[in-house]
Chains A and B, each alone.
Chain A
Amino acid sequence: MATADDVETYRQHSAELIRYATALVGPADAADVVTDAVLAAFASPSWADVTNRRAYLYRAVLHESASFHRRAGRRQRRERVAAARDRSIADPPADTVDAHRALAALSAQQRAVVYLTYWEDLTPDRIAALLGVTEGTVRKQLARARDHLRRILDA
C-alpha cells in the first residue's frame, strides 16, 4: 500500500511525469507508463531510502518506457514478419512530420535527453544527474538524436 508520503510525492510530480512520458511513448500510452513506473518505484525495497525521489521517478519512467518500447518492438517485428509478403513499395510514407512519429524514431534514452534539453531546458550535467548516467552519455545521445531529427526534419 502506498503511504501518505508516497501519495504526496506522486501528486507533486505527476504533471511533469506525464509530460515526460508523453514525450517518451506518446499520449496513448503515457498514463500506463507512468502508472507502472510509479507502482514499481513504490514497491521497490529501496524506495524508502531514496533521497532524490524526483530523479528516481524520472529514471523509473524512462526505464518503463524502454520496456514498453521493447515490448512494442517485439510486437511490431512479429507483425512486420507476418505482413512482409504483403508489403508494397507503392504504399507511400506519411508526408508530414508527426511529432510523436519523429520522436519514436529515437531510442528511449535519446527521447529522454531531447525532452529534458528542449522542454525542461536542462544542461547536460543536470540531465546526467537526473538520469543517473554520465555527462558524456548525455552529450552523445543528444548529438545522435539531433542528427536523427535533422534528417527527418530535412526530408
Chain B
Amino acid sequence: MPEQDLDDRIRQLVARAVADAPPAPDLDPVVVRLDRRRPDHRRARWVGGGAALLAAAAAITTVVLINDTDERISTPATVPAPTMSATPDTPATVDAPGAASTTTEPGTTLPPATRWEATEAVLTAGADGVTAYLDGRTTTLWTEPVRIALATPGGRVILTPDDEGGGAPLVLDPSTGAATPLLADHPEYWTGLVLLHDVELVDGRELLLYGLIEGTDQPAADTERIYLVDLATGDRQLLAAPEGAPDASTATQLLPGAASVRSRLSMSVAGDIVGTLNDGNGVSFLWLAVPGSPAAQRPRTAAELGLQPTYPGCDTECPRLFTISPDGGTIAWVEGADDAELVVHEDSAPQRIPLGFPPQETSLDIAPDGAFLLARAPAPVQAVRVARDGTVSALRGVVATAGPGGQATNPVAPPPTAAVVTAGPDGIAVLDEDGNELRRLDEPAAEAYLTPGGAVIFQAPRTEPGGDVGPPMIWQPDGAVERLLPDPAPGQSYRIYDVAGVDGVPTVLYGLRSRPTDGNPAGFREQLVALAMDPAGWTTTELAEIPTWEAGYTGLGLGADGTVIGTYSESVTTSYVAMALPGSPAEQTGVPDHTTLGIEPDYGDCTTCPNHFTVSADAGTIAWLAEGDVVVFDVASATTERFALPDLGGIPVRLDIRPVGDGSSEVLVDRWSDEAEELDAVRFRLSPDGAVELPLGAAFASFAP
C-alpha cells in the first residue's frame, strides 16, 4: 500500500473510531463522585495462580492482581507500577532454624533447564511472551509481551519486546536467561523503528536482517532501509534503500523509490532474501541477495515461479507473503481471497494447499519439517501451523518463526562484560570493565548486586533515619522491576548481603530481621537465608539464626562454591564468620577458619583490628581490612598479601574483592565519608606496585559475580 494511501486509510480509521464518541459525561456526576472519592493507598494484594494456571503458563507462576478497581493515578506523570507478573507467592521465609527448604517459583525471565537446538525450533511470540516448540514439547523462554522472536544459528533468541518504550530488540541466551540490548550502538536505533526480518548462517556468518524506519515529520516520508548485521563482529551493511534516498549510493541494492516492504523478509543459508514489495503500482515478488553469497550468483525471478513481474492494484487477492525456506529449496506464498491457497514452489510443479479460512495472514514462514507458519489478522491475531496436507493447528502467540537452516560454530559476540554495579540516590548503573555504563535504572537504591544471569537485586534507601531499607527488588535484564520476596510480616525486614552463582545457580544471601513490638531484647533476631533462583524452582535455605540486640552481621560475602565469609559484631567484639551453604561444594571441602587465615577468632574494642571479611565471587580469595590495609588471602595457595590503602577519609562499611587476571585483584570499599557526610564507594586495583584508586563515583558499589 502506498504511504499516502496508508495515511488516508488510517485517517479514515481514526475518523470512524472518533465518530462513535459518546457525549462527554456530565460534570455534576463528576463533582458528586469527587466528593465520594477517597484516598486509597492500600497495597494491592497478590495471589498466586493454582496448579492448572501454572501448567497453562508452562511452569511459570502467573500472579493475578486483584481488587483492580483500587488502581488510581496520582498524577499523570506517575510511572505505572512495575508488573509483578511472577513474584513468588510462597513466603520465602523459614520459621525455625534448620527448617526444610521452601520452594518458590521462578521469576519472569528464567531460562529453560536445557539448551535447545535452534535449527529445529519454531518460536512463537505474542502477549504471553516467547514459546519454543521443539520435539513435540513447548518451552517458555520469555514471559513479557513480544512482537517477534527469531532463533539464531548460535542458539540465541533475538526478540522485539512489545512495550511502550518502542520495543528495542534484545538478544536472549536461553541457557542463562540473560538478555542484552542489540543494535544499541547504532544512532538511528534511538529514534527509528527496527523491524526484525530474519537471522541465518550465510557463508559461516551469523547474519541478522532487519529494517529500519526512521521517524520523520511527515509519516508519508517514512522509508524502510534493509540492513544486514554480522552478529559476531557487529559489522553492519546497508543492503537495500529506496532510490533517491540520501544514502542510496551506499546501499548494495536499490528498491523503487515509492516502494514499501509489505511483509517480513526471509533468508536462506545460500543468501537468498525473499519478500513482497509494493511499489505504489502493485505487488511483486522481491528477491535480494547477501553480497558475495552463492545466491548472489543466481538471481531468483518472478518468471521462474510462474508469476507476473507485478500485480497492479492488487491488495488482497494477488500473490503475496513470499517466503523462502532456510535451505533455499522452497519458495512459498499466499494467493486468493475467499479461496486463499498456499502456493509451494519446489523443484516439481507448484503445490497448492487450500487454506480453508479467510486469508487474513500477516506473516508466512516455512518450518523445519516443511509445514507453514502463518499469522492471521486482524486482532486477535493468531499464529497457526499449516501442514502439507492442509491440516491447520493453532500455536500459542501471534507470530511464529522457523529456526535457521545453519548452526553457527561462532556464537554471537558476547555483550560487554558487566564488572560493577553501582547504587545511589540517582539510580542504579551497571558498568563494564572500563567504567562505561551498560544499563541504568533511574530508581534510588541503597545497595545493588548483579546476578550471574544479568538481573540486579537491589533495595531502596531508607526513607527516615533508623528506618529499614526498601524491600528487595529484582531489575530483570528485560527492564522489568519486580519484588524479589514477599512482603515481610509486621516488625520484620530484609537485608541483602550478597549475590553469587553457587554451583551455577544464581543465589541471593539475605537476612530476615525481626523486631519485637514489646522491645524485648531477646526478640531481636535475624535469620540468615540463601535464596537459590534455580530455573526448576526457587528454594530458600536457612543458614543461621542470630541475636541482633546490639549485635549482628556487619557484612557477608558469598562465593561460587557456597562459602560464606563475613563479620559478626556484638557490643565491642568483632568476629570472623565462615560457613558453607548446605549441600554446596564448600560443605564438602570445608571453609577456611580463622587459624588458616592467621587471625584471632574475635577482637575486642579495636577499630583497626581485622574487620569487614569477605570472599570473592569465585571463592578463590578472602579479604579483610586491618590497620588501614587490605589483606588478601589466596585460598588455593593459602598465602596472604597486604596492600596499604590510601587514607579512606571515612569509615568502611563493606568490602568486596575480585581477581582481575595477571594475579592482581580489585577491591571496592563502601565507606561513610566524613567529608561529604554520606556513603560513597572507592575502587582500588591491587598490584605489586600497591593500591591504585580507579575512578568510580557512586554511593555504593559491588562487583559482578
Q: Which residues of A contact B (CB under 8 A)?
A: 1-2, 7, 10-11, 14-15, 17-19, 21-23, 26-27, 30-31, 34-44, 46, 56, 59-60, 62-64, 66-67, 70-71, 73-75, 77-78, 81, 84, 87-89, 92-95, 97-105, 107-109, 114-115, 117-119, 123-124, 132, 136-144, 146-147, 149-155
Contacts and interface: CB of A to CB of B under 8 A. Distances in A.
Nearest to B216: A139
Contacts of A123: 217
Interface in B362-408: 362, 376-382, 384, 392-394
Contact of A143 (B29, B215, B359): B215
Contacts of A18: 21-25
Contacts of B11: 118-119
Contacts of B393: 89
Interface stretch (B74-82, B202-210, B564-572, B588-596): B74-82
Nearest to B360: A155
A17 B80 CA distance: 21
A36 B72 contact: yes
Given A22-B20, A150-B1, A154-B262, 17 more contacts: A18-B22, A27-B21, A34-B24, A36-B73, A59-B77, A63-B78, A71-B71, A74-B68, A75-B68, A81-B57, A89-B384, A103-B17, A107-B162, A141-B166, A149-B6, A152-B377, A153-B13
Contact of B76 (A41, A43, A150, A153): A41
Nearest to B191: A136
A102 B379 contact: yes
Contact of A132 (B30, B57, B77, B190): B77
20 contacts: A22-B17, A27-B20, A40-B76, A41-B76, A42-B34, A59-B76, A67-B80, A74-B64, A99-B14, A105-B378, A123-B217, A124-B217, A137-B166, A143-B215, A143-B219, A146-B6, A151-B362, A152-B378, A152-B379, A155-B377
Given A81-B57, A149-B6, A155-B360, A144 B167 contact: yes
A78 B64 contact: yes
Interface in B458-501: none
Interface string B346-372: 000000000001111110000000000
Contact of A93 (B14, B18, B165, B377): B377
B222 interface: yes
B18 A22 contact: yes
A91 to B, nearest CB: 9
Contacts of B315: 154
Interface string B193-205: 1010000000000
Q: Which applies to chain A's interface (DSSP): helix, strand, loop or mixed?
A: helix
A105 B190 CA distance: 23
Question: By CB atoms of chain A within 10 A, which of B18, B78, B164, B381 has the most?
Answer: B18
Contacts of A141: 166
Given A89-B393, A93-B376, A132-B77, A118 B7 contact: yes
Nearest to B49: A81
Contacts of A140: 166, 191-193, 215
A128 B163 CA distance: 18
B27 interface: yes
A93 B7 contact: no
Contacts of A152: 362, 377-379
Given A70-B80, A102-B379, A143-B193, A109 B10 contact: no
Contacts of A44: 74-75
B35 interface: yes
B298 interface: no
B9 interface: yes
A155 B1 contact: no
Nearest to B57: A81
Contacts of A144: 166-167, 193
Q: List 4 tightest A-B contacts by C-beta distance, closest first.
A: A139-B215, A14-B24, A59-B76, A143-B193
Contacts of A75: 68
B15 interface: yes
Contacts of A103: 13-14, 17
B18 A19 contact: yes
B378 to A, nearest CB: 5
A30 B9 CA distance: 23
A92 B358 contact: yes
Name the interface size band of chain B.
35 or more
B16 interface: yes
B21 A147 contact: no
Contacts of B22: 18, 22, 27, 30-31
B53 interface: yes
B412 to A, nearest CB: 25
B56 interface: yes
Contacts of B127: 73, 77
Contacts of B57: 81
Contact of A99 (B17, B195, B213): B17
A12 B263 CA distance: 44
Interface string B29-60: 11101110100000000000000010011000
Contacts of B361: 155
A39 to B, nearest CB: 6
Contacts of A41: 76
A119 B14 contact: yes
Question: By CB atoms of chain B within 10 A, which of A15, A21, A63, A124 has the most?
Answer: A63
A46 B68 CA distance: 25
B139 to A, nearest CB: 17
Contacts of A119: 11, 14-15, 18
A155 B378 contact: yes
Contacts of A17: 24
Given A84-B56, A93-B376, A95-B358, A147 B195 contact: yes
Contact of A97 (B163, B193, B378): B378
A118 B394 contact: no
Contacts of A46: 75
B544 interface: no
Contacts of B232: none
Nearest to A13: B24
Contact of B25 (A34, A98, A142): A34
A99 B13 contact: yes
B65 interface: yes
A73 B85 CA distance: 13
Nearest to A116: B14
A18 B20 CA distance: 10
A89 to B, nearest CB: 5
A43 B37 contact: yes
Question: By CB atoms of chain B within 10 A, which of A42, A44, A70, A155 has the most?
Answer: A155
Interface in B67-117: 68, 71-78, 80, 83
A60 B78 CA distance: 10
Nearest to A151: B362
B62 interface: yes
Contacts of B360: 93, 95, 155
Contacts of A14: 24-25, 27
Contacts of B362: 151-152, 154-155
Nearest to B72: A40
Contact of A39 (B34, B68, B166, B262): B34
A74 B379 contact: no
B61 to A, nearest CB: 13
A107 B80 CA distance: 14
Contacts of A143: 192-193, 213-215, 219, 222
Contacts of A35: 25, 29-30, 33
Interface string B229-270: 000000000000000000000000000000010110000000
